[in-house]
Amino acid sequence: MRADRLVATLLLMQTRGRVTAGELARELEVSVATARRDLEALSAAGVPVYPQPGRGGGWQLVGGARTDLSGLSAREARALFLLAGPAATAAPEVKSALRKLMGALPGTFRAEAEAAADAVVVDQAGWGERPKDRPPMVELLRDAVIARRKVRLTYGGRQPSERLVDPWGLVDKDDVWYLVAGTAKGRRTFRVDRVVAAVPTDEPADRPSDLELAAVWDEVVEEVEQRRSLLTADVVLARRHLDVIRGRFGRHCEPVADLPGDRVRVRVAAPAPIMIAQELAGWGALVEVEGPDSVRSELARLGSELVARYAR
C-alpha cells in the first residue's frame, strides 16, 4: 500500500538523515523506480523532502530533522496525513504509524493533522459507475472538513436546493466522491459531482467528538445495500472475466463456487431483473445466467428485441 510506504519512507529519512532511491528500494523491498516515485510524491505533496545530485547525494529532509517531525510546518504535516490517512482505515499498521507520527508533532498543529488524517476514507468497491474526471469541489470540501467550517451547498439536478451543512468527511468510492455531512435533518450523504456550488463559511462546524468516518461510511453503505440488493442472480463465467464483472456490479458481486474449466459461479444483485439483464446482455454467450427465471426472461426479451431490429 503506497501510503504505508510513504510513512515508512519519511521515518527512514528521519533516522538516516539522507537516503538514495536504491537504499530505500532495498529497505522497503520495492523497485528503484517505485522508491523514486514515492520520494517525488512526498515532495510534490509539500513535505520538505529534496534531492541532492552527484556523488554522495540522495534525498533528505530540509533542515536535517532526524528524531521528530518538528521540522515540518503545519501545511506540510497536513499534506502528509492527507496522503497517509485514507490507508489507515484498512491497514492497522498504517494507523499505528500515524499514531507514532502524530505523537511527534508539535502541539500547535497536531489538531489540524488529526483532522487531515480523518478527512478522507477510501472504499475500493464501486457501485457500478465511475466518472471520467475528479470533481473540482473535492479540494474545497476537503479543506472545509479539515478547517471544521460549515459549508453552504447548492445540490441537485434540474431544481438544485441550497442547504447549510457540517462537513464530516469525504469518501473516495472507486473514483466516485461523496461528502458525509451533518444537516438540520441529521446525517446526509452527497455525491460531490452533483454539487453545483459550495461556499465555505466562517461558522464552526458541528462534528461529533467520537465520530469515526470509516464507521459512519460503513453504516451508509449498509443502508444503500439494503435498498439496492433486492434480487440476486447466479452467473457462470470464465475466471478471467471476474474482475470486469466485479467492476460493473461492485459490492454486489460475490464469487460463490469454483467450477471445472477455470470457470466460476458468482452471485450478483440489483433492485430489479431488468437491471441485472442490462448489465449482462452485452456479454452474449460469455456468461450463463443459471437463475432466477425473471432475469433469464429479461435477457431473452432483450435478445429478441435486438434480433428483430438488427437481423437481416
- Per-residue pLDDT tens digits for 181-226: 888 888 888 888 888 888 989 899 888 888 887 788 888 877 776 6
**Residues 173, 218: contact at Cβ < 8 Å?**
no
Whether the upstream peptide bond of residue 135 has omega within 30° of 0, thus cis, is no
Residue closest to 297 by CA, chosen among 250, 201, 233: 233
The dotted CATH code for 229-310 is 3.30.70
73-86 residue pLDDT tens:
555 555 565 555 55
pLDDT at position 1 is 45
Of residues 262 and 249, more confidently modeled? 262
Contacts of 170 (CB under 8 A, 6+ apart): 119, 120, 121, 138, 141, 142, 145, 177, 178, 179, 180, 192
Domain range list for the chain: 2-117, 123-211, 229-310
Can you tell me the mean pLDDT for 276-303? 89
Residue closest to 231 by CA, chosen among 285, 277, 264, 263: 277
Asked if the model's pLDDT at residue 284 lies above 80, the reply is: yes
Least confident of 44-53, 149-158, 267-276: 44-53
Distance CA 250, CA 237 (A): 16
Least confident of 50-64, 246-260, 269-283: 50-64
pLDDT at position 263 is 92
Asked if the model's pLDDT at residue 124 lies above 60, the reply is: no
Of residues 1 and 26, more confidently modeled? 26
The dotted CATH code for 123-211 is 2.30.30.100
Q: How far is CA 179 from the centre of its chain?
A: 12
129-182 residue pLDDT tens:
555 566 778 878 888 887 888 999 888 766 788 889 998 888 877 677 888 888
Contacts of 254 (CB under 8 A, 6+ apart): 266, 267, 268
Asked if the model's pLDDT at residue 70 lies above 90, the reply is: no
Res. 65 pLDDT band, cuts 50 70 90: very low
pLDDT at position 137 is 80
Asked if the model's pLDDT at residue 265 lies above 90, the reply is: yes
Of residues 115 and 30, more confidently modeled? 30
CATH class of 2-117: mainly alpha
pTM above 0.85, yes or no: no
Can you tell me the mean pLDDT for 286-310? 90
Of residues 16 and 118, more confidently modeled? 16
Asked if the model's pLDDT at residue 100 lies above 90, the reply is: no
